Amino acid sequence: MFREARQIVLDACHELADIGFLPGTGGNVAFRASSDVIAITPSACDYYTMDVDDICLVELATSKQVFGQRRPSVELGIHSRLLTYRQDFHASIHTHQPVASAITLLQRSLPIDDADDRAQLGSVAPLIGYAPSGTGFLARAFGKGLRREASAYLLKNHGIVCGGASMPQAIANVGRLERAAKRYLLARLTPGLSSQIRDLVVRSLSS
């Protein structure tokens, strides 16, 4: 059942894990398999031992699981809200990627400075207020914070969510958000910082 959609989710997990954006079992990925069913990663499962049959299928409107032995990701509510709100999106990604997640500690929305990135992400990645991960509180806060023009969101003290019309586009948006977060941090390094420390930060942010 919808094996191709489940394979797309699995391949995306490997791609994101390979670049360090899905540390441990953190983060999750969803893909629209049909008008009313989404494929989504299972909860707390290692991405490299995960099999295509571990990817769950869930009804978008009811959250009822229709395929898979494992429990769907605890962030199902976030993905289903994004994919319901944005009918033009087919893919939704939540990560704990290093720099953009660090930005969420600053407790402010992230302006997107690059014109190409703005065309894809919107002019700002809105900050969603804090609620514990995997809870209905977080899913509801996310639902309230959705903006028509935004494809990327910061979850306060937690991580990020990006959507896209396709899985490659959603993955590209995740990368765009990370680069925008790096540029934002670099631009705010105080001039008083010793050049040694500044070089160290620039090197680590550029790697």
Residue corresponding to tokens 């049909």: 34
What's the CA angle centered on 13, arms 44 and 70, to 5 degrees? 35
Contact positions toward Zn ion, by CB under 5 A?
133, 159
CB 71, min distance to Zn ion, A: 15
Nearer to Zn ion, 62 or 63 (CB): 63
Question: Phi and psi for 69 in degrees, rounded to 5?
Answer: -85, -25
CB 101, min distance to Zn ion, A: 9
Alpha-carbon distance of 150 to 133, in angstroms, equals 21
Alpha-carbon distance of 73 to 93, in angstroms, equals 12
Nearer to Zn ion, 68 or 159 (CB): 159
CB 177, min distance to Zn ion, A: 15
Residue 94's DSSP bridge partners are: 28, 161
CB 156, min distance to Zn ion, A: 12
Pick from 43, 160, 136, 30: which is nearest to 84 by CA?
30
Nearer to Zn ion, 55 or 138 (CB): 138
CB 114, min distance to Zn ion, A: 26
Q: Are 50 and 42 in contact (CB under 8 A)?
A: yes
Residue 58's DSSP bridge partners are: 38, 65
CB 50, min distance to Zn ion, A: 17
Nearer to Zn ion, 7 or 133 (CB): 133
Q: Identity (one letter) of the amino acid at 193?
A: L
- Write out the two tokens for 167: 């899985």
Alpha-carbon distance of 10 to 50, in angstroms, equals 8
Nearer to Zn ion, 2 or 30 (CB): 30
Q: Identity (one letter) of the amino acid at 130?
A: Y
